[in-house]
Amino acid sequence: MAVTQSRDNRTIIAGADLSASQFIFVSLDAAAAAVATGAGAAAFGLLEVGAGTGKACTVTKTGKVMVACGGTVTVGGNVAASDAGSAVDAAVGDVILGVAYEAGVNKQVIAIELSDAGNIQA
């Protein structure tokens, strides 16, 4: 069951319209604003509460979080970002963003342990 636990949150300005987004990986753009993370890229954190462009959103840096799947995720496996910032199994060369507590498929919300390890690649 996907739950959130022991989070470390930040308030960040949205650099794009994230008002319809939740539980996706986000990165910081050149203005230090939150945008969806690209496929296999490093993330600043996970979007908990989205917002419109220029508005404040809530981003989690560490902890057990819920994430939307953009494909197959294997329980116990390393997780990376898809092209839309959702979670997928990490492939060779992807930045590892967390470890899955449960298996998931496209559009399912699952629990992962969000990694704040920087740029560790699979």
Domain boundaries, the chain: 7-61, 65-114
Cβ atoms < 10 Å from Cβ of 76: 9
Condensed to tens digits (0 to 9), the pLDDT of residues 11-46 reads: 999 999 999 999 999 999 999 999 999 999 999 999
CB contact set of 73 (below 8 Å; sequence gap of 6+): 79, 87, 88, 89, 100, 103, 104, 105, 110, 112
* Residues 85/26, Cβ–Cβ less than 8 Å: yes
State yes or no: pLDDT of 89 exceeds 80.
Answer: yes
Condensed to tens digits (0 to 9), the pLDDT of residues 37-87 reads: 999 999 999 999 999 999 999 999 999 999 999 999 999 999 999 999 999
Task: Please state whether the predicted TM-score (pTM) of the whole model is above 0.85.
Answer: yes
Tokens standing for residue 99 = 């470890």
